[in-house]
Amino acid sequence: MGVLALALAGCGEFAGADAQTDGGTGGATGAMTTQAPTSTSAPTAGTGDGSGQADTSAAVTTAESSGSSSSESSLGASDSSGGDAAGPYPIVLAHGFFGFEDFAGAGFADYYWGVRDDLASIGETVFTPAVDPFNDSTTRGLQLLEAVEGIIEETGAPKVNLIGHSQGGLDARVVAHLRPDLVATVTTVATPHYGSPIADYALLIPGGQVVDVLVQLFGGPLWGAIDGNTSLVASMEQFSTDGIAAFNEQYPDAPGVEYASIAGRSDNELATAECATDDAPPFIANWDGVVDPIDPLFAAAEAIVDGGVFSSIPNDGLVRVEDAKWGTFLGCIPADHIDEIGHLFGDGSGGDNAFDHQTFYRNLVGYLRARGH
């Protein structure tokens, strides 16, 4: 069960050295046609349109980072960093299953490894609320909504931009459905909008209720958000084929909110057909010819998601490309499920893959800013 639990994680993963990045933000002002890959080398330096890995932060903001603030949620502090917002709406990063902000009080292990501080360094105001790491997205979404309401009150901004990784994207959809007046955009990264075979498989394993008891007993010292209502089984049921169908029916998209999605692809797959889209901004399209080796951590899970020994369904080790598509599909990045958020503790993607998660989030925020958000 441990591998399967980690498998759906969007994980709080640990260990390794600090991440390094060149930076880079620009935003694409319109849709770009995905170009056919021409090489497997890293993309060239980009410009203000978000087309590469170069430091283009000046194209997005000239604000200086100053100070920090926090917004209280029902599960504790919603940490934020940054000074004057570079755009009209603050950025809220929603963590996935197994997620945390400060693992076991260590003071250093954040879910989006180094992303909040990196964005703050270019003047962005970024919040990273903590919600129950093991629960369904109705429960987590209500907790995230409470945090968003606090952020609105604290900052005076009329709306926020929600960026969710893995299950965090489903939580963000709950918030947008319930309070579309508070949400400008929902952007999801490797979110299982159509479920995961991992969950269907995990639910076949007996003893689920025992697992819930163990999570509640022993998880508390590690994840401060855990309480007696925490349920790993509830999470798995939601990610199942039947569970996600019910979720999608309950939480349709809200008018007036822009929805976009990004998938991850790994295991050295280019997934040219599956990742094709006319809406890919340059900072995503430029990775079309780069492959990513799957982290050994996901070997067992990837085999399940892949469809078996004689099948090859493009995925990031946990979430299939097709299942990650929602709203405007912006394309695929060459990253497995933990590379997408910079874990294990900022280690590289592996092989010749120069993908950098901090640069990716800078570019993603730049894309939102260029679209007026």
Amino acid at 75: L
Which segments of the chain does DSSP mark as H helices, in order?
2-7, 115-120, 137-155, 167-178, 197-202, 208-219, 232-239, 241-250, 272-275, 282-285, 299-305, 357-370
Q: What is the pLDDT of residue 344?
A: 65
Catalytic one of 51, 65, 78, 166? 166
Structure confidence by residue, pLDDT tens digits, 136-174 = 899 999 999 999 999 999 999 999 999 999 999 999 999
Mean pLDDT of the chain: 73
Q: Is the peptide bond before 368 cis (omega within 30 degrees of 0)?
A: no
Cβ burial of 66 (10 Å; 0-12, 13-18, 19+) is exposed
Per-residue pLDDT, 306 = 78
Residues 148, 92 contacting (CB under 8 angstroms): yes
Please state which of the ranges 7-16, 86-95, 349-358 shows the lowest mean pLDDT.
Answer: 7-16
2-370: what fold?
Rossmann fold (3.40.50)
The pLDDT of residue 17 is above 80: no
**pTM (two decimals):** 0.74
pLDDT for the residue numbered 297: 76
Assess whether pLDDT exceeds 60 at residue 61: no
For the chain, domain boundaries: 2-370
Per annotation, catalytic residue among 95, 193, 337, 343: 337
Q: Has 316 been annotated as catalytic?
A: yes
Q: Residue 229: what pLDDT? A: 64
Asked about 337 being catalytic, the answer comes back as yes
CA 48 from centroid of its chain's CA atoms: 23
Residue 277: alpha-carbon gap to chain centroid: 20
Residue 201 has pLDDT above 90, yes or no: no
Q: What is the band of 355 on the pLDDT scale with cuts at 50, 70, 90?
A: very high
Span 290-306, pLDDT tens digits: 998 887 777 777 778 87
Q: Indicate the pLDDT class of residue 52, thresholds 50, 70 and 90.
A: very low
174 — phi, psi (to 5°)?
A: -65, -45
Q: Look at residue 187 in the predicted model and tell me its pLDDT.
A: 98
Residue 275: predicted pLDDT: 97
Kindly state the percentage of the chain with pLDDT values over 70. 60
In this prediction, residue 366 carries a pLDDT of 96
Q: Is 166 one of the annotated active-site residues of the chain?
A: yes
pLDDT at 274 over 80: yes
Q: How far apart are CA 281 and CA 305, in angstroms?
A: 27
Check: CB of residue 130 under 8 Å from CB of residue 225.
yes
Q: Which of 49, 118, 292, 316 is catalytic?
A: 316
